[in-house]
Amino acid sequence: MKESRVGKVDSKIIKMKSKVRGVYAQIKNARTVGIIEQEDEKALVKIAKPVGVIGAIIPVTNGDVTPFCKALSAVKTRNAIVLAPHPRGARTGKLAAERMRLVLKRHK
């Protein structure tokens, strides 16, 4: 908040906890790789695969939560992600990326 000069600390904390948990709850059971749908009567199979690298533009208005939510989706779909924060949120974006790297290294 100090860096971006947008928002209030107490609302940012609430948003961080609820939004990230909400995104996780929405995607945790979703099939995102391999056979995700099959219609035997039509002999159709829908197969999902990673697309590669996802470019994620991070707005200054939501630079604290958005990196985590976008990264959750990227990890779930087995894609790489490049975070591109607004200049007024660059340090926050860097800190978010560093924290996520630490968590991912612990869960190899």
| For the chain, domain boundaries | 9-106
What's the gap between Cα 64 and its chain centre?
12
Query: Which uninterrupted H or E stretch holds 48?
Result: strand 44-48
**Rounded to two decimals, what is the model's pTM?**
0.79
Greatest mean pLDDT among 2-6, 14-18, 71-75: 71-75
33 backbone φψ class: left, alpha, beta (φ>0; ψ -120 to 50): beta
Local confidence band at 17 (pLDDT 50, 70, 90 cut-offs): confident
- 3-state secondary structure (DSSP) of residue 74: helix
- pLDDT (tens digit per residue) in 25-70: 999 999 999 999 999 999 999 999 999 999 999 998 888 899 999 9
CATH T-level topology, domain 9-106: Aldehyde Dehydrogenase; Chain A, domain 1 (3.40.605)
- How far is 49 from 34, CA to CA, in rounded Å? 6
Q: To 10 degrees, what angle do helices 9-27 and 66-76 make?
A: 10
